């Protein structure tokens, strides 16, 4: 799965934006300060680039407002410090501690058992192999959204060649690719689906090279699944008049109105808020919680900027929309099955 994962260098501007987003949020120790509970989010990626992290920061702010709790944002971008950052927050007395994305898995799984009275939440994760009583994992059915975007790609391609580019090799992203491929083939049995792995969520230059390689093989529509690397794929597509469905933000789509057809979205912040609110009310782990297509926490949307951007493919894309709407309904009601295939590529 993919989703808007960004790994970029921490900058003063990013920290400032994160601070503004959480102005008024608590940074003091003590989960029950002032009679309020404390919810903390430990981010392994810098905020401030309109990515999934910013969505999570916004979700944290919603929790503060809706549930009347203290909130704390901690940025820990050095992998060697992930575990110590989480442990420090737990020792400060936070009641609920959340982290996001696969790279924080070992740190959360390592710290949670040592603090049984604290609830931990892992956003965008598969459940641990051994159950941890106070850990909630929130998995996103992104692969179902990728099936939809694959169907769109198979429908729109003129060259019968499309490509998917992921940020890293992981079961979640492998599942996204296989679903994308299945969707493309369901729409167009003649389609050829190329795949590539950047090896980083913060290397747009390498992603651009991979994209250009696919375009040289005839791909006229690409799917980005690479977080901060995705902008390089969009840049490559723009130079070759190829089209893109992207995991990047609406702001990126607006900057490329003739290239970015649509967005494969994950509502990270809303999923964080929903999971944490339920935990605060129940006082216990949710186990595994699915952020699903039927809850509109994942999906595909056509970019308004594309529809208004002057592309000669607008009519084709408008004709596609009702097909995507019908297909989504069929996936939700189970009449169309999308396999969760994590085999490597």
Instruction: Work out the angle between the directed axes of helices 230-240 and 204-216 (0-180°, nearest 10).
Output: 40
Q: Taking Cα atoms as reference points, which of 284, 261, 64 lies closest to residue 150?
A: 261
| pLDDT for the residue numbered 7 | 35
Kindly state the tokens that stand for 288: 């595994």
Domains 12-141+268-291 and 142-265+296-333 share a fold: yes
DSSP states of 230-248 as a string?
A: HHHHHHHHHHHT-EEEESS
Distances (CA, A) of 331 to 107, 144, 167, 180, 219: 35, 8, 26, 14, 27
Q: What is the pLDDT of residue 34?
A: 57
Q: Alpha-carbon distance 222 to 260, whole Å?
A: 10
Q: What is the assigned CATH class of domain 142-265+296-333?
A: alpha beta
Mark residue 264 as left, alpha or beta (left: phi above 0; alpha: psi -120 to 50; beta: remaining): beta
Beta-carbon count within 10 A of 286 CB? 17
Nearest alpha-carbon partner for 61 in 14, 18, 22, 100: 22
Domain boundaries, the chain: 12-141+268-291, 142-265+296-333
> Given strand 288-291, what is the order of strands in its sheet?
70-75, 38-43, 96-100, 119-123, 135-140, 288-291
Angle between helices 12-21 and 52-67 (to 10 degrees): 30
Q: What is the pLDDT of residue 172?
A: 86
CA 238/CA 61 separation, integer angstroms = 36
- From the list 81, 116, 121, the residue with the least C-alpha distance to 99 is 121
Cβ atoms of 90 and 118 within 8 Å: the answer is: yes
pLDDT at 49: 73
Q: What is the CATH number of domain 12-141+268-291?
A: 3.40.50.2300
Q: Are strands 38-43 and 70-75 parallel, antiparallel or unpaired?
A: parallel
Q: How many CB atoms lie within 10 A of CB 135?
A: 23
Give the Cα separation of 109 and 10 in Å (integer): 25
pLDDT tens series, the chain, 345 aa: 443 333 333 333 333 334 433 433 333 334 555 578 999 999 998 888 777 888 999 999 999 988 789 999 999 999 999 999 999 999 999 999 999 988 899 999 999 999 999 999 999 888 888 999 999 999 999 999 999 999 999 999 999 999 999 999 988 899 999 999 999 999 999 999 999 999 998 899 999 999 999 999 999 999 999 988 999 999 999 999 999 999 988 889 999 999 999 999 999 999 999 999 999 999 999 999 989 999 999 999 999 999 999 999 999 999 999 999 999 999 999 999 999 999 999
* pTM, entire model: 0.77
């Amino acid at each position: 799965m993919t989703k808007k994962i960004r790994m970029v260098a921490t900058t003063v501007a990013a920290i400032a934006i994160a601070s503004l987003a959480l102005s008024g949020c608590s940074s003091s120790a003590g989960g029950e300060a002032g009679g309020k509970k404390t919810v903390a989010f430990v981010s392994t990626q810098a905020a401030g680039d309109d990515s999934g992290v910013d969505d999570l920061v916004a979700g944290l702010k919603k929790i503060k407002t809706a549930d009347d709790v203290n909130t704390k944002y901690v940025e820990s971008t050095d992998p060697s410090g992930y575990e110590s950052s989480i442990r420090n927050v737990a020792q400060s007395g936070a009641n609920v501690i959340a982290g996001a994305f696969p790279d924080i898995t070992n740190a959360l799984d390592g710290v949670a058992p040592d603090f049984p009275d604290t609830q931990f939440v892992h956003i965008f994760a598969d459940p641990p192999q051994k159950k941890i009583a106070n850990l909630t994992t929130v998995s996103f059915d992104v692969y179902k959204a990728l099936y939809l975007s694959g169907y769109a790609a198979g429908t729109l391609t003129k060259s019968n060649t499309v490509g998917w580019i992921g940020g890293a090799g992981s079961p979640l992203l492998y599942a996204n690719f296989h679903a994308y491929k299945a969707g493309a083939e369901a729409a167009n049995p003649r389609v050829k689906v190329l795949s590539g792995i950047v090896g980083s969520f913060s290397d747009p230059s390498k992603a651009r090279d991979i994209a250009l390689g696919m375009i040289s093989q005839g791909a006229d529509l690409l799917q980005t699944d690479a977080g901060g690397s995705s902008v390089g794929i969009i840049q490559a597509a723009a130079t070759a008049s190829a089209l893109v469905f992207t995991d990047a933000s609406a702001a990126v789509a607006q900057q490329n109105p003739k290239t970015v057809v649509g967005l494969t979205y994950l509502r990270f912040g809303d999923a964080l808020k929903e999971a944490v609110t339920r935990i605060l009310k129940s006082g216990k782990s949710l186990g595994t919680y699915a952020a699903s297509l039927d809850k509109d926490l994942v999906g595909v949307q056509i970019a308004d900027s594309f529809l208004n951007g002057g592309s000669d493919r607008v009519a084709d894309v408008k004709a596609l929309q009702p097909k995507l709407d019908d297909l989504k309904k069929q996936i939700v009601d189970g009449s169309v099955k999308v396999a969760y295939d994590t085999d490597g590529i």
